[in-house]
Amino acid sequence: MGGALVLDGRLHSGSSGLALEVGHLAVNPEGRPCHCGSRGCLDVEADPLALLTAAGRAPGPEMSLLKQADDLIRHQYDDPEVRTATESLIDRLGLGLAGLVNILNPDRIILGGLHRTLLEADPDRLRAVVADRSLWGRSGGVPILPCTLDHNSLVGAAELAWQPVLDDPLGALV
């Protein structure tokens, strides 16, 4: 899970290029181990495997975990186990987003992938968690919107690669 912070129309990458590693916000201190060495990071607490496991579904080899989780929410949300698992992931995602809102005070949050599906499944719940846990939530909140691009991470990577050309077109030619 990644993030991007755009300030004055420019991507902010931080002092070493790792700004907004959103996936490593701790949202469950007793949670699953993360590949970063910590526990309970958003990366592992609000990912497709967490949803499938919480819903009591074994991941299958026939399609990606993301597709399996997405299909589960879209087609079996009325199943009590699926609904409970989805709500748990929404709560964890909302907790992480509220932390970002408190630190960054963004003008909007855009979610893609599984997080877009979670938003679409229960937008009121996600917005309520963020509003309840953030300073600005009670005074109007931050719009939380679905990404309209299907391959949003690829588009973001392409834009990042082209940023030097956009910053200095003549310099890029030399």
Cα–Cα distance between 146 and 110 in angstroms, integer?
5
Cα–Cα distance between 75 and 1 in angstroms, integer?
24
Predicted confidence at residue 163, as pLDDT, reads: 59
Read off the pLDDT of residues 48-88 as tens digits, 9 standing for 90 and up.
Answer: 999 999 999 999 888 899 999 999 999 999 999 999 999 99
**What's the token pair of residue 59?**
């991941």
- For residue 113, give Cα distances in angstroms to 20, 26, 95, 166: 17, 20, 18, 27
pTM for the predicted model, two decimal places = 0.81
**Exposed, middle or buried: residue 2 (CB in 10 Å: 0-12, 13-18, 19+)?**
middle
Check residue 116 and report its DSSP letter.
Answer: H
Classified by CATH at the fold level, domain 26-158 comes out as: Nucleotidyltransferase; domain 5 (3.30.420)
Predicted confidence at residue 166, as pLDDT, reads: 62
CB 46 within 8 A of CB 93: yes
**What's the token pair of residue 78?**
């009325």
Check residue 7 and report its DSSP letter.
Answer: E
Cα–Cα distance between 61 and 65 in angstroms, integer?
9
Q: Confidence class of residue 162 from pLDDT cuts 50, 70 and 90?
A: low
Read off the pLDDT of residues 85-122 as tens digits, 9 standing for 90 and up.
Answer: 999 999 999 999 999 888 888 888 889 889 999 999 99
